[in-house]
Amino acid sequence: MHLSSASLSLQPDEWKNHVLGGIGFSNASDTAHPKITNFPFADVEMPVLEGAASACEIWISDSSVTYEQRGLIQYSYDENTLFGVLLMPQTSALEQMTESAFMQIFSLLETCGYRYIFRFWNYLADINGVDAIGSDGADNDEALERYRQFNIGRQNAFVASGRELTGNLPAACALGTANGSLTVAFMAGRSPTLAIENPRQISAYQYPQQYGPRSPSFSRANLVLLSDGTQKVADTDQTLSPQKLLFISGTASIVGHETKHHLDAVAQTRETLANIEIVIQEANKKVGLGEFNMTDLLYRVYVRHPTDLPAIRAEMEHVLGRSFKAVFLQADICRTDLLVEIEATAASTIRLPEEQYA
């Protein structure tokens, strides 16, 4: 579900005891987020562009939830699903920080028995900035874009943990904030998931080296089959299970491996939605026609320049209709020539409350 921070703080304690975790977005100066200590919560410094000054995405379980801490990771779990948040302090170069963060996450999931990762949400400051690096064969005087450093560290952790680098990878996003530490939120389960790719695009893990020494480690989407009584994503008594949950990774105006429609936010939005539609079609081939559709998705839209928001929203209304559900955020995107990135989540049969969305 999506809530304002004020609404989150008003929820009853019984409700909060079923929360697996959440991700919140607000301006650095905004103090609306309540002090949340009983469940994992990623507090991301990222301005909300419409509606309330802050927004939260909350994941709820039908089952009783256990809350624990291991090192830097705050996490919770029920019988089927684990949700965690890791806030990595700035103690070393981003590549090393990222590798350490993912190694800690992989170790936790193996120990707890939730080795199948549904989704990663990654947020890092100055994603397009350039920093000195000191590993992967480079000396300390060499510089590399921070997103490319992040990809090196992430892939190193995948390799060291014996995880796949191609094929069945989790869904993910990586967005830039103005400030803040490396923040990684993640969701995982006990049963295998099904990665979905887009035939219009080269898989991210196969990108050529012009985009960095290591390719990104994620799939275009991840399809999760939930067991009985597992998840809610809306403020209702309805549950997702036994249902299918689709996590669509951060998606942009990329065809093949190349950015399309430079400097044109409207055309980039149109191309991005076309990519999402293809991903949905590919997912429906796996689970049956009509399981997922564009109008049932919950969208999170990352906008590089706030002045582009009216045009981006108008194009989304043109493609999706006026009743689509989205939260719009100001963020830097992994490529400097990308103006908009869109991610989404969907369940196959759940009805969602209109009032929770802009």
| pLDDT tens figures, 66-87 | 999 999 999 999 999 999 999 9
Gyration radius of the chain over CA positions: 19
The domain tally of the chain equals 1
- Per-residue pLDDT, averaged over 311-334, amounts to 98
Measure the CA–CA gap between 344 and 249, rounded to whole angstroms: 7
Q: Which of 145, 341, 343, 354 is catalytic?
A: 341
Domain CATH number, residue 299: 3.30.1330.40
Q: Which domain holds residue 238?
A: 2-356
Model confidence at 352: pLDDT above 50 = no
Mean pLDDT of the chain: 88
| 209-268 residue pLDDT tens | 999 999 999 999 999 987 654 444 443 343 444 578 999 999 999 999 999 999 999 999
pLDDT grade for 27, boundaries at 50, 70 and 90 = confident
* Statement: residue 201 has pLDDT above 60: yes
Active site residue 355: no
Digit-coded pLDDT (tens) for 141-184: 579 999 999 999 999 999 999 999 999 999 999 999 988 899 99
In the predicted structure, residue 323 carries a pLDDT above the cut 60: yes
